[in-house]
Structure 1
Amino acid sequence: ILSTRALVLFRTELERLAAGRLAAPVDATAYRGPWRELAAFAESLRRLVSGFITELEVTAAQVASAVEQMEMAVARAAGLADAHTELRTAASSVDAVTQKLAEAVSAGGEALARANRALRAVRAGAKDIDATVDATSRKLDDIGGSLSRIDDILARIGEIADCTRLLSFNAAIEAARAGVHGQGFAVVAQEVKKLADRSSQAVEETATVTEVIKKDVQQAVAAAIKNQEDVRTLIMDAVAEVDASLEAHRTSLARIVDEARAMQREINNYFSRVGSHLQEWEDAVAELRNTAALLRRVGESLAATVGKITVNGGYAGGRYNEETLAAITAELQRLASQPEIKSLNPRTHAQVLQSFLADEPLLEAVYSNRADGSFIFSAPPAGLANARVRAWWQEAMAGRIYRSPVYVSAITRRPCLTVAVPIPGPGGRPVGVLGADLAVNGTREGAR
């Protein structure tokens, strides 16, 4: 016979389970007979549903984390498409610059052509100088010849003067023999002698001047020839050097233009290849965005479903030592201020946090995160790809110490309580998060 009391008690348990309050077990020992067997079946069903809901809660958190990662990937992919567009615009600017470079090189080629024409004019001028110097040398040679003829004339004048002097001397002798009758002739002979003497003196002076002029002409001819050679050498050397420099510039400019055009062709070919796949890329990004939106809706639906079932209702007021919780919070704050933790180095985080976990038996997990939500270190390994969706990460990154309500850990799949503190960076601005999961289990109350 089924007792009314057992029926009421069992009905109350079923109503509790139907309301989603699955944390407390169904105590089969409170029943007798067939009711105990039914209570045992109900407890098995509670455990099955409770385990399923626990996994569902963890899965909802993991889906939310995956959606966050997908949305970040979509944002980066969209940014890549924007970067491609900007790069394409920059490539167009490069094309314009290349065109201007070609125009500048063309103008430089015209300038080089003008320089070449100027060089040809210099060469022609050098030839004109040669002709002028040659003509001057010939004129000087002609002057030298004229001076030589003057020397001949002076020599003949000197001979005539000598003869005149001899004749005047003979005339003076004859005048002396003539006595009184030859006195007038003697005067004439004396004057002729003076004239001959002056002629000889003039010839000597003229010969001296002529000799000086001849030497000057010879020196002028030699100097003209030497200057002609020096000028020709100087001009030709300068022309050759400038010509070589212009040729080098011409070759360099041509090479620059060829390389710029080749580079532009390569850039255009690259963008043509990338452009052909860009639409496919954008379609894939759009599909990924839609998938992320779908997953987000699924995750929200899972979270809403899990929220209707207070799996952890029995743990919400679970027994844990408040002093222990405060001590662990203080220790997390102390560790977060250490240089080994502020460095965000995975190796030093592993050393410090593994030691901390080993020294605190109440801890089930300890972990650290960067400012983007990614994990630096986690022991045991993290069950989420990214912590950005978790309230503890959000609160700690806002600069606040966070204590969570009891929830199911994605790491251990057991009810836990999370404490998270910010890792301060320059100026006190958080650069990461340091967190720990405390086991919520009445049998472990006070354990350290």
Structure 2
Amino acid sequence: MGLLLKIVNAYRNPAAHESTNGQLMTDDIVVATDRLESIVERIFNESGRIEQASGNVLTMSETILRHQTEAVDGVEALNHFLQSVRHRAEDSSAQAKIMRETNASLEEDLRHATQALTDTSETFASLTGSTQRTSQAIYYLLEQMQHIAEIRNMLKNMVEQTSMLAMDASSEASHAGANGQTFAVAAGSIKELADSGKRSLLDIDLLLHNIRQASLEVLAVLDKNQQLIASNKEKLEDSHRFLSQVQGRFDVLERIISANEEACLGQVETVQKMAGQLTQLLNKSKESTRLAADVQTISAGQNSIVKHLLEASKHLTDISDEFSVVVKQRSEHVEIVDNPQFTIDTFAQWKGTMEAWAAQDGLLQSTPEELQELFQTWIEKTAALEAVWLNNADGDFLHSLPPAGIVNAKRRPWFTGALQDGFYISAPYLSAITKKPCVTISIRVAGKDGSRGVLGADIHCFVSEE
């Protein structure tokens, strides 16, 4: 800034600076111009980096906004799904409750049916006992009828004997004449009694036959009933066992329904907690979406500003280039000549030295501290060496001794010339650092890993006045 102010004041007030050496003023202008070019180039490079960073930020903000919007949509969909799951779980819990109540009612009906079957089984058992006792009574009646038949046979014999006796008495009475009249009357009475006994015996035979026939029919019916009762009793026992199994299954179903109901209630509680957390996450996601939208708006505005800055930097670069050309044209009265010792042999010697320096292993991978030590050694051992530096293939300085006045050398001819042709040597010019004439020599550096760079050096020259 002091140098520029000195130049401006010299042009504003020439009288006050008449004693100033014109050549020195021209040198100051050349140095200032070189520094201005470095500053403009730095602004241009930094503007490009800011534009790239701004573009990256804008792209990232757009990506974040898109992802955030997708996340909000996903959270809303998940929240809706959880609400649906909660409603389904509540419905399942309500259905489980209804099923449990229905199961309890069915279990009660099953218990009544089982009790009814038990009572029916007991009734069949009692009926079986009664039927057996009735059968035994009928068999006993048949046995007694056998005794009655024996008694009837005895009565039949008695009636037959009485009838024969009446016939004999009547025959004897007819032989007795008048004396046997009374005996004949008695014989007739006995005969009538025998005939009455015969008729009673016939009635008894019919009655015994009917009783026997009815008893046999009752026995047949009782036997069939007993068989039917036995068959139904087995079916009742099978039904009772089946109902017992059904009862056990109902118990298992009751436990399953109860466990399902508890699980549904626990699921509802868990879903409610998750829904609450998702609601909080949704609110935070919406807030993040709003912030991302704000960042995108700011990034878009910043990107627009950076573009304007880059355009202004380009215009400033063009102006600086024009100013540099004019200044160099006006300073042509200064003749910079080569060092008398800077002959073709000297040039070849410097080229060999630069090639030896560039061929050192791992030069491009060295740290700034290692390069500082190496460059310091070269400068101490080489009297004409004014400055030395190393750039990568992007033009960035890996290290410079003394520090470089620019950040990136991509637009410098010594950089592009060496990177393209392998070696470059400039015409003598006035150094912006020492204000003394010098020559720039640069050479391409290649690493074993395929990396490339440029090694450059400034060499002292002499100035002769016209």
User: Is 2:425 the counterpart of 1:403?
Assistant: yes
Correspondences of 1:204-353 after superposition (within 5 Å): 205=227, 208-209=230-231, 211-269=233-291, 271-272=293-294, 286=308, 290=312, 293-294=315-316, 297-298=319-320, 300-310=322-332, 313-316=335-338, 318-343=340-365, 345-353=367-375
CA distance in 2, matches of 1:342, 1:78: 28
CA distance in 2, matches of 1:99, 1:342: 48
- Could you list the per-position Cα deviations for residues 253-284 of structure 1 after superposition, in whole angstroms to 9, with x for gaps in the alignment? 45334313323324424654885798689668
Question: Secondary structure in 2 aligned to 1:77?
Answer: helix
Structure 1 match to 2:14: none
Query: Structure 1 length as normaliser, TM-score?
Result: 0.72
Closer/same/farther in 2, CA of residues 332 and 424 from structure 1, 3 Å limit: same
CA distance in 1, matches of 2:247, 2:298: 76
CA distance in 1, matches of 2:443, 2:268: 71
Q: Quote how far apart the aligned CAs of 1:337 are.
A: 4.2
1:142 aligned to which of 105, 116, 120: 116
CA distance in 2, matches of 1:326, 1:95: 64
CA distance in 1, matches of 2:77, 2:96: 26
- Cα RMSD of the aligned pairs, angstroms, is 4.0
2:394–2:410 CA contact under 8 A, matched in 1: yes
Structure 2 match to 1:20: none
Structure 2 match to 1:439: 460
- Could you list the per-position Cα deviations for residues 152-180 of structure 1 after superposition, in whole angstroms to 9, with x for gaps in the alignment? 22221211111111121122123234437
CA distance in 1, matches of 2:377, 2:25: 34
1:70 aligned to which of 43, 48, 66: 43
Correspondences of 1:64-103 after superposition (within 5 Å): 64-83=37-56, 85-86=58-59, 89-90=62-63, 93-94=66-67, 96-97=69-70, 100-101=73-74
Closer/same/farther in 2, CA of residues 245 and 311 from structure 1, 3 Å limit: farther
Closer/same/farther in 2, CA of residues 244 and 312 from structure 1, 3 Å limit: farther
Q: Give the structure, 1 or 2, with the largest relative contact order (CA under 8 Å, sep 6 or more).
A: 2
CA distance in 1, matches of 2:334, 2:452: 32
Q: Quote how far apart the aligned CAs of 1:230 are.
A: 0.8
Structure 2 gaps, min length 5: 1-18, 157-200
CA distance in 2, matches of 1:104, 1:329: 71
State which structure, 1 or 2, has the greater radius of gyration over its C-alpha atoms.
2
Closer/same/farther in 2, CA of residues 98 and 382 from structure 1, 3 Å limit: closer
- Could you list the per-position Cα deviations for residues 95-139 of structure 1 after superposition, in whole angstroms to 9, with x for gaps in the alignment? 653563465246423464245335423432343333234323322
- Could you list the per-position Cα deviations for residues 80-103 of structure 1 after superposition, in whole angstroms to 9, with x for gaps in the alignment? 554555455446535653563465
Q: Quote how far apart the aligned CAs of 1:222 are.
A: 2.6
Closer/same/farther in 2, CA of residues 194 and 277 from structure 1, 3 Å limit: closer
Query: Structure 2 length as normaliser, TM-score?
Result: 0.70
User: Is 2:402 the counterpart of 1:380?
Assistant: yes
Closer/same/farther in 2, CA of residues 156 and 291 from structure 1, 3 Å limit: closer
CA distance in 1, matches of 2:148, 2:347: 166
CA distance in 2, matches of 1:79, 1:71: 12
1:70–1:292 CA contact under 8 A, matched in 2: no
CA distance in 2, matches of 1:61, 1:256: 62
Correspondences of 1:65-214 after superposition (within 5 Å): 65-83=38-56, 85-86=58-59, 89-90=62-63, 93-94=66-67, 96-97=69-70, 100-101=73-74, 104-105=77-78, 107-108=80-81, 109-110=83-84, 112-114=86-88, 116-179=90-153, 181=156, 205=227, 208-209=230-231, 211-214=233-236
CA distance in 2, matches of 1:96, 1:388: 42
- Could you list the per-position Cα deviations for residues 303-349 of structure 1 after superposition, in whole angstroms to 9, with x for gaps in the alignment? 52134324762424643143343233234334434442132532343
Q: Quote how far apart the aligned CAs of 1:394 are.
A: 2.1
Structure 2 match to 1:9: none
Identity %, equivalent residues: 15
Q: Quote how far apart the aligned CAs of 1:50 are.
A: 4.1
CA distance in 2, matches of 1:94, 1:383: 44
Residue type of the alignment partner of 1:439:
H
Residue type of the alignment partner of 1:438:
I
2:385–2:460 CA contact under 8 A, matched in 1: yes
Correspondences of 1:21-32 after superposition (within 5 Å): none
Q: Which moved more, 1:241-250 or 1:220-229?
A: 241-250
1:65–1:388 CA contact under 8 A, matched in 2: no
Q: Quote how far apart the aligned CAs of 1:216 are.
A: 2.8
1:133–1:225 CA contact under 8 A, matched in 2: yes
- Could you list the per-position Cα deviations for residues 171-208 of structure 1 after superposition, in whole angstroms to 9, with x for gaps in the alignment? 21232344375996888887788778767766765565
CA distance in 1, matches of 2:347, 2:128: 139
Residue type of the alignment partner of 1:139:
A
2:428–2:461 CA contact under 8 A, matched in 1: yes
CA distance in 2, matches of 1:312, 1:366: 26
Q: Quote how far apart the aligned CAs of 1:368 are.
A: 0.5
CA distance in 2, matches of 1:317, 1:307: 23
- Could you list the per-position Cα deviations for residues 277-304 of structure 1 after superposition, in whole angstroms to 9, with x for gaps in the alignment? 9868966874686477447525642452
1:368–1:433 CA contact under 8 A, matched in 2: yes
CA distance in 1, matches of 2:402, 2:455: 14
CA distance in 2, matches of 1:338, 1:187: 147
